[in-house]
Structure 1
């Protein structure tokens, strides 16, 4: 019996198959993302229904596109059975492709079962016509349709599994292309199966003749085709829209969760090192207090600060300083137990909360462990260096029963460790609070000093060895406080250095020295060269030389009247930078002296490159002239000979005995200073000394070197 096809419906069947395939690919990606089993099952069921409707609709539209010279109809019951088969096949396919792994045997087995299921749906749908006599199928085309169904199913399963990751690049383009191929394969199977059907001449459609529960040919077919097409497109499009909405909702939920985690992390951890921050540490200490109070046990707070970190930060830059902090934090984590907490409070301050301690000795061992590991050095930004902490230890409950008290006591113990040499640790003692309070008061006094007149300069004279005349002076800072009285430099200079106040105080010293030189000039005294000490913190300031030059010009003093002293050990911390700074001073017209020579670790090559005007022999070697006999004399003699060979003057400080004076004079030391010759004097007393020298030696040089 001859047959024909409605090409418009054929084209629509291909479009439906392609859309159904794309929906299947999208659903595979959506189901894969579902972590909750209930949601996964819901998407599998809904996806199977949509995909099943799509596949069955393609088949049914293809059937409606087919026509014979007799009226055709379709039994609703059998047609419903074919739709049910489509649902089952779709559920099975989605379940297979959304597995985490898809092995080759499972792929082949799944493809065979799915192909048989699709073929079963097709031939069940054909049976819904209830042809009399029945439809005969050509064996080769029947086998070909079955083979196409199986091969197409295997390919579809593999493609869907490969494209289930929605994060792939150009995923929509890839899925569209794959859907087109899958759609053609599915329709190819259908129309091959239709071509295999052989309808006998004179056959009739039993679905039209024998039952009211059927769909007849003619106008009803056109209406039915339009209804099925619209209904199918609506289901598939709604399914895709729901999938996209769920994807965006999932993305939004994921983004909110990620943002929430980031907010929690920012609120809990230090962003630079990844350690706990202050607020998190406070919570853990409060919890430890409650637990230890209930169990009558103890814990320790180890408060630490990195020695010399400010110098590293200022000289090598903040970026390198950050790398040092991160490297130190990682080393610190290796020193603690799993139950301990490590936090960064800010800057270079770190804290270890050590819980479940049996005795104070456990805390001491942990402090020793930290120091031992840090002596091994750290690697920051590819550079190996040693960064040592000073550690203060406070114990609960004996040193305090609150977070603030314990941290304050541990901090006080840490400063005690710094005062006693750094790179060590100390347990908190009650007296340390008094020292910490004194430190705070001195720091406040330093802040108020310039405004309230607490600071004053004294001048220690330097004498020429050959004539005994005053050769110059060294400006020495003094602090006279209403509460503390007159403080020695050793009591306040280290505090000013740690707090950074030394920078502005240093500029005050330069300005006040210039003003005093001008006063001496106004009093008719000869021009005077005055030495001013530069601190380590001052040397890290990029604008040090320009700022000092501005001060000198404003006070109308010649640069040649000032000499700046740099301690040898400080000069060698960053020798190349020191050389650059010295050359800046020299180009501006200032002279430089290396102070405390012999106590550091100078390289002779660098000493030559410094090209300074003067070396000052440390008082340790001056004392050695009396205490160490020939060895002490040999060392001082060698230093003087070295300086003279480099065309530098030599000043010996700390001269306190006649024998020291005589030996230095015999060695041709250029200048001396010390209590034997003259103690530090007020500006007025130093002026009186100069007036006396002018009276006794009227021909003294107008410019003292």
Structure 2
């Protein structure tokens, strides 16, 4: 009894085989990327089910393409067994191809088991017809079908292993081509098996009545299979992208953490790390009732070296000095670079004040007369100021401030020497009190003013908004930079009322520009740690904005990364409260703190502001600076965040940022902070030029 084939169903079976093969290759790459055993097993089971359904449905669609001159049906139980065999075989294939180490023996054994399993699936499906009398199989074709199944399995396993790396070049195209080859092999096994089958004349199909209806089966199998395989591929692609993003975030986080803890030029601990170590030393010394010293050093004449020989030579001098300094002090001492030519040594476990003096004398002596392996011809000497715990201060800021004051006294005493801190040196403390008094009267006396630093779009150079910057103009102390009075206002708590003044004054300026017929610019306002700790901050700000008649979406609040991570769950709540009220939030100085990038996606802020440290790095000849900025921009864009680069001061920085598709930029190259009237004039010029 001879049968015929339906061309379209044959084509459909080949399409299903191709899709199933491609899914198998894609899953191999996906599972190979997973690091945890639980995820690997979950994807192994789920992938095997999807892949098994694909192989099984290819077989049954091909069976439906074969017509006999008698009614045909399939036994439910045997059909289920054939499906189970396909899933087991698929699980074996994924297990073998995703193992870390696979020998040729493993591949050979897996190929035999997999090939026999596929053949078993095929012949179990044939048995599901329950032909009476039974099907006769020609030995030659029967053996050929099994051989083809084993050979196809070997080829599939080898191809899957070779194409398992998702990062390989043109891997998707290679997998598609391999899937076509595997589909030909799978179909070849099936049709060679069909060629082996001989149906006796007069035979009947015992499953024709009470079995599965072929029309329903053909439609259901085709639709269900395509749905399962496509959904599996979509999940694999999405999960692979997530894994890639997590991996990229992890690598970026490692780079940023290193930049946040170590000085990039010298490899020494930076200010943040030094602060942590001093805090730990304070706790230890308090418990043991012991003494330690802070030696603050500044290189004498370093500015002359930079100005005469250039910054490259200056960097070489700093690196050489850092190496020498570590040799001069004890192995247990902490050596750190604060920035520029400022270095600090923290010497613990001192017996007396004289021990700190001996360390300073040793540094000066070695620097003056030592013979160095680095062969650096320039000899540089430091001036050293020493502050002792606890007599010269009981916290990090005080100790560093007093050591710094002693260092300047050493410079005044002739340089290349050292001085211990004395109370008479503490002019800075007196100035702090003066500034605190000036802050008390500044709000009522009108000594505060706002400048606005413009921000520009990276793609069109259009004015995108501005950042509000507070200034203090005191009739006695003169104009004070924010870096001098903001920390004092923060410590005293005055920053809360000052912050509300900034919001109200910003709203008044926005309202004024609108009344003049100028565009309502979006203005960014910085929030301090003390402000964020206020329980009614958002409601108080919302009330001010509403009183001044300004839309909330005209205001963006900036929170520094370090502050955001001090209490990340609380920050998330605060951000949600701001966003619910209609305000936008930006993370400022991104990359300078101990960043837990796992929280970045949960913050869901509008903008990331790249710290000027990274912007300056774009002018370095090494590729690391560009790579970090590019990675931050790509990461932000993948999370639907805009990126603002601050501190743009050179044309090369601007050009590179535009190439990396940075959304907005600000800096002295583009526009310096402007008084309100000057910014109004800028707005008018921009409107007139349109």
Both structures adopt the same fold (TM-score exceeding 0.5): yes
Look up the match of 2:51.
Answer: 51
SS of 1:320's partner is helix
Residues 17-39 of structure 1, C-alpha deviations (whole Å, 9 max, x = no match):
11111111111222222223322
* Alpha-carbon offset, residue 72 of structure 1: 1.9
Which structure has the bigger radius of gyration? 1
Shift of 1:187: 1.5
Contact 1:299 1:396 (C-alpha < 8 Å) held by counterparts: yes
Instruction: Answer yes or no: is 1:314 the counterpart of 2:301.
Output: no
1:421-469 deviation line (CA, Å, top 9, x unaligned): 7666x46264xx646869x99xxxxxxxxxxxxxxxxxxxxxxxxxxxx
Length-normalised TM-score, structure 2: 0.56
Q: What 5-or-longer segments of structure 1 have no aligned partner?
A: 442-705
Displacement of 1:79: 0.7
Provide structure 2 residue ranges, at least 5 long, that are not aligned to the other structure: 432-690
Secondary structure at the residue paired with 1:208? coil
Q: CA deviation at 1:129?
A: 1.3
1:145, 1:190 within 8 Å by CA — same for their partners in 2?
A: yes
When the two chains are superposed, the root-mean-square deviation of aligned CA atoms in Å is: 3.3
* Residues 329/110 of structure 1: CA separation in 2 closer, same or farther (3 Å cut): farther
The 3-state SS of whatever aligns with 1:207 is: coil
Distance 1:315 1:259, change over 3 A: same
1:228 maps to which residue? 221
* Distance change in 2, residues 1:92/1:404 (3 Å): same
What is the rounded CA distance, in whole Å, between the counterparts of 1:360 and 1:120 in structure 2?
87
CA displacement 1:33-79 (0-9 Å, x = unmatched)? 22233222221121111111111111111111122233221111111
Q: What's the secondary structure of 1:342's corresponding residue?
A: strand
Contact 2:132 2:204 in 1 (8 A): yes
- Give aligned pairs, total: 428
Structure 2: distance between partners of 1:371 and 1:103 = 64
Q: Which residue of 2 aligns with 1:286?
A: 279
Contact 1:31 1:43 in 2 (8 A): yes
1:344 and 2:337 aligned: yes
Are residues 1:133 and 2:133 paired? Answer: yes
Structure 2 residue 402 is the aligned partner of structure 1 residue 402: no
Q: Could you tell me how far apart the structure 2 residues matched to 1:92 and 1:126 are?
A: 23
- Partners of 2:367 and 2:380 within 8 A in 1: no
Write out aligned runs for 1:137-148 (5 A).
Answer: 137-148=137-148
Shifted more, 350-359 versus 298-307: the winner is 350-359
Measure how far apart 1:334 and its partner are.
6.2
Q: 1:303 aligns with which of 296, 308, 313?
A: 296
- Looking at structure 2, the residues matched to 282 and 2 of structure 1 have their Cα atoms a distance apart, in angstroms, of 88
Give distance in 2, aligned partners of 1:284 and 1:275. 13
Q: Which residue of 2 aligns with 1:115?
A: 115
Deviation, structure 1 residue 410: 3.1
Q: Please give the secondary structure, in 1, of the residue aligned with 2:207.
A: helix
Superposition map of 1:282-431 within 5 A: 282-330=275-323, 332=325, 340-356=333-349, 368=362, 372=366, 375-377=370-372, 379=374, 385-415=378-408, 426=418, 428=420, 430=422
Contact 1:13 1:58 survives alignment (8 Å): yes
Q: Hey, what does 2:198 align to over in structure 1? A: 198
* CA deviation vs aligned residue, 1:463-505 (integer Å, no higher than 9, x gap): xxxxxxxxxxxxxxxxxxxxxxxxxxxxxxxxxxxxxxxxxxx
2:300/2:381 contact within 8 Å kept: yes
Cα deviation for residue 234 of structure 1 reads: 0.9
1:408 CA drift (Å): 3.5
Query: What is the CA–CA distance in structure 2 between the aligned matches of 1:237 and 1:346, rounded to whole Å?
Result: 55
Distance (Å, rounded) in 2 between the aligned partners of 1:180 and 1:242: 22
Q: Structure 1 residues 402 and 64 mapped into 2: Cα distance closer, same or farther (>3 Å)?
A: same
TM-score in terms of structure 1 length: 0.55
Q: Report if aligned partners of 2:5, 2:66 keep a CA contact under 8 Å in 1.
A: yes
Query: Could you say which residue in structure 2 is the equivalent of 1:185?
Result: 185
Pair 87,332 (structure 1): closer, same or farther in 2 beyond 3 Å = farther
- Seen in structure 2, the aligned counterparts of structure 1 residues 420 and 112 have a Cα distance that, compared at 3 Å, is farther
Shift of residue 223 of structure 1?
A: 3.9
Instruction: Specify whether residues 94 and 268 from structure 1 end up closer, same or farther in structure 2 by C-alpha distance, changes over 3 A only.
Output: same
Whole-angstrom CA distance in 1 between matches of 2:298 and 2:20: 67
